[in-house]
Amino acid sequence: MAQSGKTVNGFRFLPPGLTAWIQTLIPDEFAGDIPWKRLTKPLGESTVALVTSAGISLKSDPPFDMEREKQEPTWGDPTFRAIPRETTSPDIDVNHLHINTSYILKDINVMLPLARMVELEQEGMIGRLAPTAFSFYGFQWESTDFIDQAIAPMAETMKAEAVDAALLTPA
Amino acid sequence: MGLAARFLENTGISTVVLTPTHDFHRSVGIPRSAAIEYPYGRPLGAVDDQEGQRQVLLAALSMFETARQPGEIRHLPFAWPEEPKATHWHPPEMSPLIKLYLDDIKRAAKKKKQ
């Protein structure tokens, strides 16, 4: 159901206590520069990659490390996994200690919409879905190690695959 | 995810973040946010709802061509059909971080009520 003029409540699904706490951690406004790469060709001619932070991995790859986080609650696995574009739900494992992962296991497209993107590619709405999608693990608390260990190598692959745009879906 | 978007923009890749909590933009400065009021872990929509997922995806992708300024947040018009408690998005066990900060969370909740 769509509601025109809707203002999204970013805390609607959180309990009030958790909302109050998170709001103490977020400043009133962002002060600083924001990087901006304009798309230089129509979306219908662009190569688009998908990236999620939901802790999705192929069953054939090592899973994200949840055991260390259980021992060290402010540590989050800083690595990433490549997810080929033809991946479907039976191919994946999902590890994330902050969400219910069962819905992604049933239908990967609720988080990483590979099948929907292939449909849009076939219709010419996007130029091409990149061969490789990616998952990293979104809970990083105050560490930025994941930038070097996950995001930088993901970007290298994207460049090699001539990616113009990336849709990012946090869990 | 905001830091990842910033990194990619700096390497020449345009980004849109489809986010259930657009407020995090104020922490890191996200180039383009498509705000969706859907439960965590299902930003595209419900399991097997192909048409619903497609509509959210098209709305998010449209920002690549229509967003005009850095930091733009577009509020998507979609509404989840269930009340929050019925969505069961929480993990089966309280996360380690929440356990660690439970006293702080309770204090913040109490302060807000006052």
Q: What does the pLDDT look like over B34-86, one tens digit per residue? A: 999 999 999 999 999 999 999 999 999 999 999 999 999 999 999 999 999 99
Average pLDDT over residues B87-95: 95
pLDDT digits (tens, 9 = 90+) for A94-107: 999 999 999 999 99
pLDDT for A2 beyond 80: no
Contacts of A68 in chain B (CB under 8 A): none
pLDDT for A136 beyond 70: yes
pTM of the model: 0.96
Average pLDDT over chain B reads 96
Nearest neighbour of B97 by CB, restricted to A1, A16, A74: A74
Question: Cβ(A126)–Cβ(A85) under 8 Å?
Answer: no
Q: Both tokens of residue B93?
A: 């066990």
Q: How far is B114 from chain A (nearest CA, A)?
A: 12
Residue in A143, A52, A157 with CA at minimum distance from that of residue A94: A52
Average pLDDT over residues B92-111: 92
Q: How far is B88 from chain A (nearest CA, A)?
A: 7
Average pLDDT over residues A153-166: 98
pLDDT of residue B109: 87
pLDDT of residue A1: 66
A40: region left, alpha or beta (phi > 0 left; psi from -120 to 50 alpha) = alpha
Contacts of A76 in chain B (CB under 8 A): none
pLDDT of residue A95: 96
Nearest neighbour of A151 by CB, restricted to B7, B65, B90: B7
pLDDT of residue B114: 79
pLDDT for A65 beyond 90: yes
pLDDT of residue B111: 87
pLDDT of residue A47: 98
Q: How many residues does chain B have?
A: 114
Average pLDDT over residues B13-27: 96
Encode A22-55: b = buried (16+ Cβ within 10 Å), e = exposed: beeebeeebeeebbbbebeeebeebbbbbbbbbb
pLDDT for B113 beyond 90: no
Contacts of A107 in chain B (CB under 8 A): 47-48
pLDDT digits (tens, 9 = 90+) for A77-91: 999 999 999 999 999
Strand, helix or coil at A166? strand
Question: Residue for token digits 């910033």?
Answer: B6
Element (H, E) at B56: helix B50-61
pLDDT for A141 beyond 90: no
Window 12-51 of B: residues touching A by CB (8 A cutoff) are: 12-31, 35-37, 39-48, 50
Contacts of A72 in chain B (CB under 8 A): 96
Q: What percentage of chain A has pLDDT greater than the value 70?
A: 99
